[in-house]
Amino acid sequence: MNEKDCSTVTKEQKNSKNHKELSLEDINTFVKTRFMEVKKANKIKELVTFQATNKFFIMARSQEELKIMGRIVASNNKKNLSEILIEYEKHLNLVLEFTPTVKTHSNVLMHVFGFFSGEFSELERKKFFELQENYKKGKITIGTTLADMHPITYRFNKIYLASQTYFLLYSNQEEESIFKILDKK
């Protein structure tokens, strides 16, 4: 898989000043560095937190590996931590080999939507699905899509979502958000 699989937005659009998104290499480096900190801390609590904050990041790459990694973390009562960290790192490295696609990002977006579906107004619901459709059609990038969605994690006090590295790593925070515009009305 290559970067083109991630979005059909043209290279010129991605490189414009409104589309400053991290490269896949930068994203992988960030995640590897955070995991090295977990290993250095050598505490199961740190691994649990790492898994929780990277859930959607991992999901965008491989749902199967997300399940496996969740079971590895949950096995902490049956294995010693050093074995768990070795096994977890092996699967994290597998995850980092996958490139997210429009389909996998869209799946993550639907999971995120589940956190808000009961709280959205009809207009917000419509705007969410419009955003997702524009992303699927390649009219906007995942970064633009997430930049529009990220402010609502705070508005609805979804701390779990706000702490997700998925928003940090894929979102273009410089974009003007549809939800920010709706809040102004």
Task: Please indicate, yes or no, whether residues 91 and 106 belong to a single structural domain of this protein.
Answer: no
Residue finishing a domain among 45, 69, 97:
97
Task: Please indicate, yes or no, whether residues 116 and 148 belong to a single structural domain of this protein.
Answer: yes
Number of domains in the chain: 2
In whole angstroms, give the CA distance from residue 169 to residue 44.
24
pLDDT band at 173 (very low <50, low <70, confident <90, very high): low
- State pTM to two decimals: 0.80
**Domain assignment of residue 150, given as a range:** 102-184
Task: Please indicate, yes or no, whether residues 63 and 123 belong to a single structural domain of this protein.
Answer: no
In whole angstroms, give the CA distance from residue 60 to residue 128.
18
Across the range 142-147, mean pLDDT stands at 89
The larger pLDDT score, comparing residue 140 to residue 185, is at 140
Quick: pLDDT tens for 118-134.
898 899 899 899 999 99
Specify the pLDDT at position 21: 66
The neighbour count for residue 77, using CB atoms within 10 Å, is 6
